[in-house]
Structure 1
Amino acid sequence: MKATELSIPGAWEFAPPVFPDERGSFLVWYDAAVFADALGFELTVAQVNQSVSRRGVIRGVHWADVPVGQAKYVYCPRGAVLDVVVDLRIGSPTFGRHEVVRLDSVDHRAVYLSEGLGHAFVALEEESVVTYYCSARYAPARERVVHVRDPELALTWPDDLTPILSERDAAAPTLAELRRAGLLPDYGECQRLYQAHRTTRPAPRLASR
C-alpha cells in the first residue's frame, strides 16, 4: 500500500495494490502498520460509519470541534464518489483550500483526514457506499457544518449531477459566519493534538524495515 500526503497538511491518500484472479480480486484497504509508518501514530477507531447515497447526493462539509475532533479514514467499497478535503483550520498555511480524490470500487483508494479538516463528498453512481473509520464517537453538540455552495470555498461539483442535500446541509452557515462566531478549528490547537498522538501512540515500524 502506498501512502501519499496531499497538499493539505494532515490529509493523506492510501492506494492499495489489488490482486485479481479468476475468482475476483483481493486487497487490503486499511493497513495499521502502513498508516502508522506514514503518520507516526496508530489510528484509534472509536466508531465505524457507513452511508449509502443516491447519485448526486452531496454530504458535507462536516467536521467536529477541536479539542477531541474526529479524524476519518474514508473508503468507498461500492460505487464511486468524489471525496473532498477542506482546510478549515484558522492559521493554517492552506486555510480555505481543498483537494478532491476519487474513491471507487475500481482503484480502491482511501483518504485520511486529521481532526479539524472538513469533509464532503458527492456520489457519482447510484447506491454508492462510503465507510468511515472514525477516531471519536459521534457527538451532536460538537458537530459542525459549512455550506458546500459557499463561494469563498469555491468547491466545484460535476455539472451533469442534480445536487441532493439534507435539510441541515442546505441550511448550513458560510465560512465567514462561522469565522465571526469563533466556531472554526484553530491550526495551533490541531497541531498540538497531532503531536500528542505521536507522543502517546508511538508508531510500530513496518516489518520489512
Structure 2
Amino acid sequence: MKIEESNLKGCFVITPDVFEDERGYFFESFNAKTFQELTGQAITFVQDNQSKSSKGVLRGLHYQRGAHAQTKLVRVIKGKVLDVCVDLREGSETYGKHFSIILDAIKHQQLFIPKGFAHGFVVLEDDTLFSYKCDAFYNKASEAGILFNDKTLNIDWMLSEDELIISEKDLKLPSLESYGVK
C-alpha cells in the first residue's frame, strides 16, 4: 500500500497493492495499522455508505459541522468519478483550497479526507458505485455545504454545467465567500 499526502495537509491518496491473476484480483482496501504507521494517524470508522449514480450526477460539496464532523475514506467500486475536497479548517495553511482526483475501479485508489473538509464528486461513467467510510455518524442537524460552482474555488468538474444532474438542495448551498474566504 502506498500513501501520499495531497497538496492539502492531512488529506491522503491511498494506492493499494493489487494482486491479479487469471482468477481476477485481490487487494487490501484498508489496514488501520499500516495507515497509522505511514501517516501517524489512528482512525476508527463507524459508518459505511454507498451510492449508485448515473453519469453527470454531482453530489456535494458536503460536510458535517462541529462535534459531528467526519473523516472520510472514499473509493469507487465500479465506474469513475472526479472526487473533490475543500479545506475549511480555520488556521490551516491551505484553508479555502481544494484538491481533486479521478477515482475509478481500475486503479482502486482511495482518498482520505480529514475532519474540517467539504467533499463532493461528479460521476464520469454510468452506473458508478461510490463507497465511503466515516469516523462519525451522520447528523442531519449538522449538515452543511458549499455551492459546487463557487467562483472562489473555480473547480473544473470535467463536465459542462448543462451535463450535470444536481439536487435542488445542493443548488441552494452557500458560496465559500459566506465563510469569509475570498
State the TM bucket, normalised to the shorter chain: over 0.9
Once residues 25 and 79 of structure 1 are traced to their aligned partners in structure 2, the CA distance between those partners, rounded to angstroms, is 16
Match of 2:169 in 1: 168
- Deviation digits for residues 73-99 of structure 1, max 9, x if unmatched? 001111011111111222221112111
Match of 1:101 in 2: 101
Q: Identify unmatched segments of 5+ residues in structure 1.
A: 181-209
- Deviation digits for residues 100-119 of structure 1, max 9, x if unmatched? 11111100000001100111
Match of 2:78 in 1: 78
Match of 1:206 in 2: none
Q: Identify unmatched segments of 5+ residues in structure 2.
A: none
Structure showing greater Rg: 1
* 1:20 is aligned to 2:20: yes
Bigger Cα displacement from structure 2, 141-150 vs 33-42: 33-42
Match of 1:184 in 2: none
| Residues 68, 137 of structure 2: 8 Å contact kept | no
| Residues 3, 34 of structure 1: 8 Å contact kept | no
1:27-42, aligned counterparts within 5 Å? Answer: 27-42=27-42
| Residues 85, 118 of structure 1: 8 Å contact kept | yes
Larger proportion of strand: 2
* TM-score scaled by length of structure 2: 0.93
Once residues 46 and 59 of structure 2 are traced to their aligned partners in structure 1, the CA distance between those partners, rounded to angstroms, is 21
Query: Residue 67 of structure 1 aligns to a residue in which SS?
Result: helix
| Residues 66, 115 of structure 1: 8 Å contact kept | no
- CA RMSD of superposed structures (Å): 1.5
Match of 1:111 in 2: 111
* TM-score scaled by length of structure 1: 0.82
